[in-house]
Amino acid sequence: MPAADQALRILSFLARQRGPVAASTVAGALGIPRSSLYHLLATLEEHGFVVHLPVERRWGLGVAAFELGGGYARQEPLARLGRTLLADLVDRVGESGHLAVMTGRDVLYIVEERAPRRPALVTDVGVRLPAHLTASGRSMLAALPREQVRALYPDAVAFADRTGRGPARPRELRDVLRETRDRGYALEDDEVTLGLASVGVAVLDHVGWPIAAIAVTFSSAGERDAAALAALVEPVAAELGRRIRGARPSASEI
């Protein structure tokens, strides 16, 4: 099945890139004739596995590719590796924590750890929420190439709303993600549920691609310091990334 082989090689190549690339780059790297490559890209685009960015004349992974990643996560490896780390984090911070993955323009929660006597949350295992409103989603979006974010959020129609707060158009989202990158962690305040805020940190794979995120939710009216909480989440996200890559745990860092 040479066509299937070439299609899988294209997807694997795009997954290893830091951002969308030109068709000529794909053809040169994989040795696929241009005529065959464009036919394969068109088929993959039709099924949502790749997206074409006409202004940049580049190709990147599409929403269906994110769905595959979420499917892998739902089949337990990521949840199994993250559950103990998240439980330990929740014990230390005294706030509820979450492990989520991207699936299209949503985040999907795959592990939930509730802290005792903390506010009830809308998140739970299997729940989806708009990625651009959540700390988990923002941390992953901030780690994606900007072209990929533009493909996911091309216009105002792509933006869901929950509390009347948060970005509602591409320019506003770009500003939020720029602040997230500058800060080093994601923050949402009253944008998912009024009265609650969250900090989130992306879990990165070996090429720096966001494969999940860890977040902690707390009362926005309380006295918790978001930066201090994020400083406790960051090493846990880094440790989970190492475990997913097969590296030996570094317990001294968490």
Q: pLDDT for 125-134, tens place per residue?
A: 888 899 999 9
Q: pLDDT for 99-114, tens place per residue?
A: 999 888 899 898 999 9
Assign 196 to helix, strand or coil.
Answer: strand
DSSP letter at 253 equals: G
CA distance 97 to 103: 19
- What's the pLDDT score for residue 254? 43
Q: Residue 215 — pLDDT band, cuts 50, 70, 90?
A: very high
Secondary structure element (H or E) that encloses residue 200, with its range: strand 196-204
Q: pLDDT for 164-196, tens place per residue?
A: 999 999 999 999 999 999 999 999 999 999 999
Q: pLDDT for 135-154, tens place per residue?
A: 999 999 999 988 889 888 98
Assign 197 to helix, strand or coil.
Answer: strand
Q: Residue 76 — pLDDT band, cuts 50, 70, 90?
A: low
- What's the pLDDT score for residue 147? 85
2-61 and 67-253: identical CATH topology: no
Q: What percent of the chain has pLDDT over 70?
A: 92
10 Å CB burial of residue 233 (0-12, 13-18, 19+) is: buried
SS (H, E, C) 41-86: HHHHHHCCCEEEECCCCEEEECHHHHHHHHHHHHCCHHHHHHHHHH
CATH code of the domain occupying 2-61: 1.10.10.10
The label of the residue with tokens 């962690």 reads 185
Indicate the domain borders of the chain: 2-61, 67-253
| CATH architecture label of 67-253 | 2-Layer Sandwich (3.30)
Q: Is 1's pLDDT higher than 70?
A: no
